Structure 1
Amino acid sequence: MKPVRTTARVLLSGIFLASGIKALAGPGGLVPRAKRVTDPMATMLEKIDPRLPTDPETLVQINGVVQVGGALLLALGHFTRPAATMLAASLIPTTIAGHPFWTIKDPEERQRQQVQFLKNLGLLGGLLLAAADTQGRPGLRWRTEHLADSVAGSVRRGTKTAKREAKIAMLTARDRLPG
């Protein structure tokens, strides 16, 4: 199964690497479409911390960095679950800003944008699968539950042993008492 996972991760990461590089190299061309998302986000970011960047070009570049970094991690098989999660998070505003088919009047252009929107939803589905994939190993929830069970078992055994040793010590002490 490992070759399938590796191939799938590489194929899935390709579009994010390409679009992330495009955003870093020429953010100006993406800014007009991105403003649909960056302008409301800027208001929210200013409320969180006024030092956070809010200009659309910088936000497009940050999204590009997330996409390039996430794509490389995913393709190389390092931190694949967090990488897929980061890419999924970056894909949502990218899709809303880049393919608002619901605002387009021209039927042909609307159809093209709807296809791109749906393609991105398919990518999002692939990223969600990658984010949930434990590669056949137990997930954190399973490991936590089994660790708790193991600790509880160890405590029970330790308690039983301590009771038995205390009983033996009491019997031994009683046998040694004079008469």
Structure 2
Amino acid sequence: MRPVRTAARSMLAAIFVIQGWAAFRDPAKLAEKARPVTDRLEPTLKAVHPSLPTDAETLVRVNGAAQVAGGLLLATGHATTPAALVLAGSLVPTTLAGHAFWEIDDPAQRNQQRINFLKNLGLIGGLLFAALDNEGRPSLAWRSRNTARVARRGAGHTARTARREAQHVVHTAQREARHVLRDARIARIAAQAGRRLP
């Protein structure tokens, strides 16, 4: 199953590496389309840190670099969950800037942009699947529940064992007490018998 996963991740990552590299190398081509989205992001970026870049070209270049890095990590199987999440996150502004079909009046172009928008939506869905893929290992939630179940079972076993041991101690103590009482009775009878002898 591993070769299939590797091939699927590589196919999913290819578009990000290629398109991300193109955006990183020549951001001016995409900056004008990205400007409406980057202008809306500017106050948020300034609020996060005043020295963060807010110009469209730099943000396109950063997005391209994130796509190249995330694509390479996803394709090689290293840090696949964070890589897939970074790629999904980088695809959101790309989709909003490049495929805003609702703003286009021409029916043919609107339809083409809707198709591209839905394609990107499908890529985001695939990336979310890639982020959740555990390669056949149980999920963290299942492992947590299983650990708790095993601990409860172990605690129940320990409690039953402790109860049995306590019952055994009580029975042993009662038996010893009966022996002591019997020995005391025998000693008393022997002492009384010894007093009666001349």
Q: What is the TM-score of this pair, normalised by structure 1?
A: 0.86
Aligned letter for 2:117? F
2:122 paired residue number: 122
What secondary structure, in the 3-state scheme, does the structure 2 residue paired with 1:164 have?
helix
Aligned letter for 1:6? T
Map residues 124-143 of structure 1 onto 2, 5 A cutoff.
124-143=124-143
2:152 paired residue number: 152
What secondary structure, in the 3-state scheme, does the structure 1 residue paired with 2:81 have?
helix
1:55 paired residue number: 55
Alpha-carbon distance in structure 1 between the residues aligned to 2:172 and 2:51: 73
What secondary structure, in the 3-state scheme, does the structure 1 residue paired with 2:50 have?
coil
Cα gap change, 1:158 to 1:51, in 2 (>3 Å):
farther
1:93-135 deviations in Å (ceiling 9; x for gaps):
1101111122223344333322222221221222122223222
Does 2:31 match 1:17? no
1:36-94 deviations in Å (ceiling 9; x for gaps):
21111121122233343333223222212221121111111122233222211111111
Cα gap change, 1:165 to 1:51, in 2 (>3 Å):
farther
Aligned letter for 1:124? I
Q: What is the TM-score of this pair, normalised by structure 2?
A: 0.79
What secondary structure, in the 3-state scheme, does the structure 1 residue paired with 2:75 have?
helix
CA deviation after TM superposition for structure 1 residue 148, in Å = 1.1
Over alpha carbons, which structure has the higher Rg? Answer: 2
Aligned letter for 2:75? A
What secondary structure, in the 3-state scheme, does the structure 1 residue paired with 2:53 have?
coil
CA deviation after TM superposition for structure 1 residue 173, in Å = 4.7
Alpha-carbon distance in structure 1 between the residues aligned to 2:100 and 2:135: 35
Cα gap change, 1:163 to 1:52, in 2 (>3 Å):
farther
Cα gap change, 1:174 to 1:66, in 2 (>3 Å):
farther
Aligned letter for 1:98? G
Deviation larger for 110-119 or 139-148: 110-119
Aligned letter for 1:148? A
Does 2:16 match 1:7? no
Kindly, what percent of the aligned residue pairs are identical?
49
Alpha-carbon distance in structure 2 between the residues aligned to 1:170 and 1:39: 80
Cα gap change, 1:169 to 1:49, in 2 (>3 Å):
farther
Q: CA RMSD in A?
A: 2.1
Deviation larger for 52-61 or 15-24: 52-61
Q: How many residues align?
A: 179
